[in-house]
Structure 1
Amino acid sequence: MIKEGIDALVVCGGDGSLTGADVFRAEWPKLVAELRQQNKITEEQATQHAHLKIVGLVGSIDNDMSMTDLTIGAPTALHRICESIDNINSTATSHSRAFVLEVMGRHCGWLALMAGVSCGADFIFIPESPPDADRWEDEMCQMIQRHRDVGKRKTLVIVAEGAHDSKLQPIRADFVKDVLSERLGLDTRVTTLGHTQRGGKPCAMDRILPTLQGVEAVEALLESTPDTPSYMIGVRENKITRVPLMDAVKMTREVAQAISEKNFPKAMSLRDPEFSETLEGFYATAVLETEPKLPHHLRMRVAIMHVGAPAGGMNAATCAAVRYCIRQGHKPFAIQNGFVGLLDDNVHQLSWLGVDNWMTRGGSELGTNRKQPDIDLGAVAAKFQHYNFHALIMIGGFEAFSSLQILEQGRKHYPAFNIPMVHLPATISNNVPLTEFSLGSDTSLNALVDACDAIKQSASASRNRVFVVETQGGKCGYIATMGALATGACIVYTPERGIGLDMLRNDVKFLKRRYALDAKGRSEGRLVLRNEVASQVYTTEVITKMFKEEGGELFDSRSASLGHTLQGGIPSPMDRARAVRLSLKCMAFLERYHQELLKQPAKTKQAPPESAAVITIQGTSVKWVQVQDMVEHADMKNRRGKHSWWEDYTELVEALVARPQILAKAGKKEDAVSQ
């Protein structure tokens, strides 16, 4: 390493690899001294490389590292599991079978838990929260029998490979199968996914987050000193974080130790907060309770509506809200086709079984459109009063946000709107102000990745070809920018930056120089991503023709418009899991303010401004923002936030393809020629 001039390492691996790297760092000065004594290196080399810098990136499909929400590989493994379950579901339903699925996870149940939530499992077994050794068979059979009694045709039980009961006795998939077959008489099959979970192409999240973590890792090395600890690069929600490497490793090992000591509450506490919330969400949505949890006077009539364009996760959020309502004793009402449907009385109560398969369905089962309540605000208020709604949850994009604003302002004139109201952002454009993540955007990015992988393969196979790919997103460049990071695109055009003639001239110069530098005979396809409204003049076709004309013998150019395919088919597992988590938070919000309003006299009831809010993800936390505060951060004309956390990533896209260096060299060459 010293002879090659290496004194910094980025180590990608599990806790064993990272621990070994930190030990190597600690022993480095001693090893350098030994090499110097043996005259294998010079004094100058020993001085220059006196210290080793280490930074860790966690690669583990189990997602078993503490102090980070996600490890590299875990989202892709979850995709493989959910794809398998989605394929199994049709057989399970048609033959009324039970399936017991074994997934990876020796000391961590993240994969089993997230798959259970994302795919609507009936029961899960995870190491951190084991069932009672003496009662779990009875409890599982009673729960599954209740589901069968209401008409559910399929049964899915997910078992982590490290699952055990409260006495640490292993729970095997084959044993669970025997219990279901013998005690319930179900036609039961066992499926062990094994190493299929490690394979397949990486999902969008497993391309974007490791890219950002890699950049942070290099910056951490550049800032490192001999006195600073080795860092692990993690992620909290959408924020890339640095944590001391050995602190994370120590906490990870404490989980396994707590489990071995049967201290299961401690094991759960050592997982990130999202893990516990997701487990609570699973029980809230998967278990059909025999009795409602709330007394009659606290129960609500909850209206659920989709507003705006379809997005992956809308139905999953609705399913979670409905099942939580039924668990608590509330009555959930579906408003079909938005505010137009409300005015046409397209309103009906939803049942527990009626939303059974909604977790895996794309689009909008309720029907959605962009109509706002101000089409006839008085009539909308009359319908609210007619159906006696106590709370409203709107799932949608920028239109849902503006609808909430209209309803909140309407409280001054229409008492029917003095109820708690909440907006759960769901849009592929991810253009709702303040929130860093909207349901549907992950599904859309995965659809984009799938399409661009195929396009890039075509571009590389035929000849040197540049594909200009047009994406949706309205006047928000999120999909184009993050898609460029995920697909390795070399240029991205967004509405925020716009497109100019000088920009295009430099882009042509870059592409020509880039292809000129390629090895002779090598066929290389490259991608350029353009948001659909990045420019009214320089359209996708215009840019394609410019590249084709200027490419000459170096490269060809073609265009592809992905259009509505970016709304995706089946929602991604991450969109489904986040939909459940955020939907349950929305329901808790509605319950809290409904109970506060019950304390006021009925005739003079006045809902506080903060009871009309949007649930947002900001940095590492989930926050409620009242709708009037949201307006201050919104660009209402362009239907996006005033500040976007991802805008600077366009520069990262350019840096990853060495655009600044290539253009600088091209400029020097032109100067030399002109002189």
Structure 2
Amino acid sequence: MKLAVLTSGGDSAGMNAAVRAVVKAGILKGCETWIVREGYEGLVRGNEAAEGDTEPPPAACDNVPVADPGFVQNLRFGDGALLRDGTGDLPGRRTLKGRYIVRAGWDDVRGWFTEGGTLIGTARSKAFRTEEGRLQAAFNMIKEGIDALVVCGGDGSLTGADVFRSEWPSLVKKLREAGKINDHQVAAHGHLKIAGLVGSIDNDMSLTDLTIGAPTALQRICESIDNINSTAFSHSRAFVIEVMGRHCGWLALMAGVACGADFLFIPEDPPSAQIWQDELCKKVKQHRSVGKRKTIVIVAEGAIDDELNPIQAEAVKNVLADKLGLDTRVTTLGHTQRGGRPVALDRISPTLQGMEAVEALLEATPTTPSYMIGMHENKVVRVPLMEAVAITTSVSDAITAKDFKKAMSLRDPEFIESLDAFFETSRWDPHARSAKEKWMRVGIMHVGAPAGGMNAATRAMVRYCIRHGHTPLLIHNGFRGLLDDDVFEPSWLGVDNWATRGGSELGTNREQPDVDLGAVACKFQEYAFSAFVMIGGFEAFSSLKILEGARKDYPAFHVPMVHLPATISNNVPMTEFSLGSDTSLNALVDACDAIKQSASASRNRVFVVETQGGQCGYIATLGALATGATMVYTPETGINLDMLRQDVKYMKRRFSLDEKGKAEGRLVIKNEASSNVYNTEVITKMFKEEGGALFDSRSASLGHTLQGNIPSPMDRARAVRLALRAMRFLEEHHETLRGVPFKARQAAPESAAVIVVQGTGVRWVTVEEMTEHADMKKRRGKTSWWSSYKDLVDMLVARKQIIGEPKPDRTL
């Protein structure tokens, strides 16, 4: 099969990763892969080859023995340098001048996923909207023998793709009647296969949890707001920040939650046209009255009031300046939100979706619908393309009809929950308190190693407590701090900036309560804890297990207790994501991009990069997928001599296949606990010795840099969501114990639980159930949802095609 890929509509970070994945997956499946430059406009223009246009010479690596000789023939076609700028002209090679449908080889797309935007270009094509334009596009595709197309774009681009597919038989018929194609071409290309990938920074497509480019855009927004915060505080200013989102407020909402904004305007939840100005002023005055020096208001570009009147950033600024006398500035982030290198999630997710798109094309028949490839419950899914577009359109229709309740209901549950989280954590309201008899004294502690998002979760809990009348009691330095009475009651304003701070503001260590259970129980009683929260990794779960087991001996532990997973290792069983893991992956990607740049500049160099992670290979495996590493070593599979022998064999052959003068640096990612014998130094020396004249090697240990600096927006937003879930869980179980005498209390086993993320869903897991799924000795789960990604790393470097041997696996 010959398949092509194009990007259309607005660009978004991650599009290049998707194109790279489609090209590589196509070649792995035995397809010819083509790239269409400039979106649908490129389909219409086709190939108007310039004079003297020549075919590229054969790959100069025919003497390299590989397991699949056909793979070498698919190594290089369009030349990556030419595809990047579209204007290059190298002697003896095909130029791109006048060419819009270009054959792409394996090495032509290497390194693309580190680049922002779309390297193959995008354009809004007026010609393709006409039947004549689509007829010309069909002719250009058939002329090249292409009848399968992957389209990466927004709802308009995907709708255009489905229209093109539905019209295809009639277009083929017209081309035959006009004599432009022959009967053989009609028979061979009677059906067009379409697969859609959603590239949109707004995250506005239904039936998928996250669109390509949205995480990176959110990262850019939050980076800007974090920088604005310091100058706003310095001058006691108000800032009105306009972000993208014409029909969807996801970016504004998630930025508001992640950055601790004071107020936000989104199209799905518009304020009253009559009172929004007064409401804004009231909230800002409340915050200023408790001593807040800065005010941040976020406005989506499509913000409206409930009468559909636009709410513009300048109008909000005038309200704050004129009615409150605040020194107010407007910052419109504009297209800075689209730019920059993709974050880890916008490299991993498009890679998975691009590979699934090729599978969908291979399985497509004339009777199957066009599929959109999306993400749901942490899995790549296929959904009928037009069904997704129809639901997406119905959100806009509901807003236009002023049916805002319906518009909110059509968003995913996380969107609705995040809006509630924003109200709970951003608006200080003394009238929101619960009945006094329901108030709790909540102990909050960090346990284990620091992780991004710990402080954001603590801030959310503190603010929820104060808003509802509970008393938050923060404990410094873990259980040792509790025994030393290092406990304090924070204020609303005291935790205001915690969301953007990395590490642990409370301090944390690996001490567990069995250091002195009796003394810990006395402190529970002394501080009259009626609920207890531990934020941390596997140590926090172990502590919860100890406290729950000690309830039979110590009545003080008969209170609801929660473990909120937060660890960069992501080694807590049964949860797909722990707070800090996304921040850590981003830190690893940033470091590896710099390391790979050094390796590429030096030519022919391999860097063995050591990561943290303990006995869990999550960071190493997902990091390898996000950075394009050549191989990855994890504790789950370990390292042996046979594995190293094959790795050296692969590395030699791969460097031999590189075009002369264009060799790139390569990465090997190794978890710190992969082997006690074959450590990073040994592996580096082995590659250096065996590489000879082909390649050199160096090592780099990332160490504690992987704990990150400023937490990622995804970790911050997830922290707030989980923290509020935890508080409501505590309230629910506290209610069952309220009024029972201290010594007579009997907390149910389910009142001591771990909150886990499984896809877009959140559930509670008891200590007993968690223990069944935990490897207590190796401090990780017995199974891992990400384990199959190791095979994907090998696939994306064509290991089987080059040496023909699967990587030996000795699962420990």
TM-score (norm 2): 0.81
Letter in 1 for 2:624: A
**Are residues 666 and 625 of structure 1, via their aligned partners in 2, closer, same or farther at CA, if it must alter by over 3 Å?**
closer
Q: Which residue of 1 aligns with 2:173?
A: 33
Higher mean displacement: 22-31 or 484-493: 22-31
Aligned ranges 1:213-232 → 2 under 5 Å:
213-232=353-372
Write the distance in 2 (CA, Å) between the matches of 1:81 and 1:649.
30
Write the distance in 2 (CA, Å) between the matches of 1:550 and 1:110.
51
Q: Which residue of 1 aligns with 2:251?
A: 111
> Which structure 1 segments of 5+ residues have no match?
668-675
Aligned ranges 1:649-664 → 2 under 5 Å:
649-664=789-804
Letter in 2 for 1:99: F
Q: Which residue of 2 aligns with 1:182?
A: 322
Match of 1:403 among 531, 539, 543: 543
Is the 2:243–2:334 contact (alpha carbons within 8 Å) kept by the matching residues of 1?
yes
Q: Which residue of 2 aligns with 1:413?
A: 553
Write the distance in 2 (CA, Å) between the matches of 1:180 and 1:584.
30
Q: Which residue of 1 aligns with 2:389?
A: 249
Q: What is the aligned-residue RMSD (CA, Å)?
A: 1.4
CA deviations 1:240-290 (Å, max 9, x no partner) are 222111111011111111111111111111111100000000000000002
Letter in 2 for 1:496: E
The offset of 1:553, in angstroms, is: 1.0
Is the 2:510–2:539 contact (alpha carbons within 8 Å) kept by the matching residues of 1?
yes
Q: Which residue of 2 aligns with 1:122?
A: 262
| 1:471 maps to 2:611 | yes
Match of 1:48 among 182, 188, 200: 188
Q: Which residue of 1 aligns with 2:641?
A: 501
Q: Which residue of 2 aligns with 1:672?
A: none
| 1:345 maps to 2:345 | no
SS class of match (1:118): helix
CA deviations 1:313-364 (Å, max 9, x no partner) are 0000000011111111101000111100000001111111010000100000
Q: Which residue of 2 aligns with 1:258?
A: 398
Aligned ranges 1:411-450 → 2 under 5 Å:
411-450=551-590
CA deviations 1:175-206 (Å, max 9, x no partner) are 11111111111111110111111101001111
The offset of 1:45, in angstroms, is: 3.5
CA deviations 1:41-69 (Å, max 9, x no partner) are 44343333322221111001111111112
SS class of match (2:506): coil
Write the distance in 2 (CA, Å) between the matches of 1:58 and 1:348.
48
SS class of match (1:2): helix
| 1:355 maps to 2:495 | yes
Is the 1:422–1:613 contact (alpha carbons within 8 Å) kept by the matching residues of 2?
yes
Letter in 1 for 2:721: R
| 1:520 maps to 2:660 | yes
Is the 1:132–1:166 contact (alpha carbons within 8 Å) kept by the matching residues of 2?
yes
Q: Which residue of 2 aligns with 1:208?
A: 348
Q: Which residue of 2 aligns with 1:511?
A: 651
Write the distance in 2 (CA, Å) between the matches of 1:91 and 1:388.
41
**Are residues 47 and 601 of structure 1, via their aligned partners in 2, closer, same or farther at CA, if it must alter by over 3 Å?**
farther
Q: Which residue of 1 aligns with 2:374?
A: 234
SS class of match (2:429): coil
SS class of match (1:613): strand
Q: Which residue of 2 aligns with 1:640?
A: 780
Letter in 1 for 2:326: L
CA deviations 1:519-549 (Å, max 9, x no partner) are 1111311110000010111111110111111
The offset of 1:619, in angstroms, is: 3.3
Is the 2:799–2:806 contact (alpha carbons within 8 Å) kept by the matching residues of 1?
no
SS class of match (1:544): helix
The offset of 1:665, in angstroms, is: 9.5
Q: Which residue of 2 aligns with 1:300?
A: 440
Letter in 2 for 1:134: Q
**Are residues 519 and 254 of structure 1, via their aligned partners in 2, closer, same or farther at CA, if it must alter by over 3 Å?**
same
Write the distance in 1 (CA, Å) between the matches of 2:270 and 2:568.
37
Match of 1:150 among 276, 290, 300: 290
Q: Which residue of 2 aligns with 1:377?
A: 517
The offset of 1:569, in angstroms, is: 0.2
Write the distance in 2 (CA, Å) between the matches of 1:610 and 1:410.
15
The offset of 1:600, in angstroms, is: 4.5
Letter in 2 for 1:386: E
**Are residues 550 and 151 of structure 1, via their aligned partners in 2, closer, same or farther at CA, if it must alter by over 3 Å?**
same
**Are residues 35 and 395 of structure 1, via their aligned partners in 2, closer, same or farther at CA, if it must alter by over 3 Å?**
same
Match of 2:215 among 67, 75, 81: 75
Write the distance in 1 (CA, Å) between the matches of 2:143 and 2:243.
45
CA deviations 1:384-439 (Å, max 9, x no partner) are 01000000111000000010000000111001111110111000000000001000
The offset of 1:36, in angstroms, is: 3.6
CA deviations 1:451-482 (Å, max 9, x no partner) are 00000001001121110000000000000000
Letter in 2 for 1:30: S
Higher mean displacement: 640-649 or 238-247: 238-247
The offset of 1:219, in angstroms, is: 2.0
Write the distance in 2 (CA, Å) between the matches of 1:244 and 1:425.
35
Letter in 2 for 1:177: K
Write the distance in 1 (CA, Å) between the matches of 2:317 and 2:487.
41
SS class of match (1:617): strand
The offset of 1:3, in angstroms, is: 3.8
Write the distance in 1 (CA, Å) between the matches of 2:694 and 2:726.
55
Q: Which residue of 1 aligns with 2:89?
A: none
The offset of 1:226, in angstroms, is: 1.9
| 1:282 maps to 2:422 | yes
Write the distance in 2 (CA, Å) between the matches of 1:67 and 1:665.
39
Letter in 2 for 1:412: K
TM-score (norm 1): 0.97
**Are residues 666 and 556 of structure 1, via their aligned partners in 2, closer, same or farther at CA, if it must alter by over 3 Å?**
farther
Letter in 2 for 1:316: A
Match of 1:582 among 722, 747, 769: 722
Higher mean displacement: 150-159 or 601-610: 601-610
Letter in 1 for 2:636: E
The offset of 1:234, in angstroms, is: 1.3
CA deviations 1:551-583 (Å, max 9, x no partner) are 111111000000000000000000000000011
Write the distance in 1 (CA, Å) between the matches of 2:259 and 2:377.
22
Q: Which residue of 1 aligns with 2:153?
A: 13
Aligned ranges 1:485-634 → 2 under 5 Å:
485-598=625-738, 600=740, 602-634=742-774
| 1:159 maps to 2:299 | yes
> Which structure 2 segments of 5+ residues have no match?
1-140, 808-812
SS class of match (1:291): helix
The offset of 1:30, in angstroms, is: 2.0
Number of residue pairs aligned between Structure 1 and Structure 2: 667
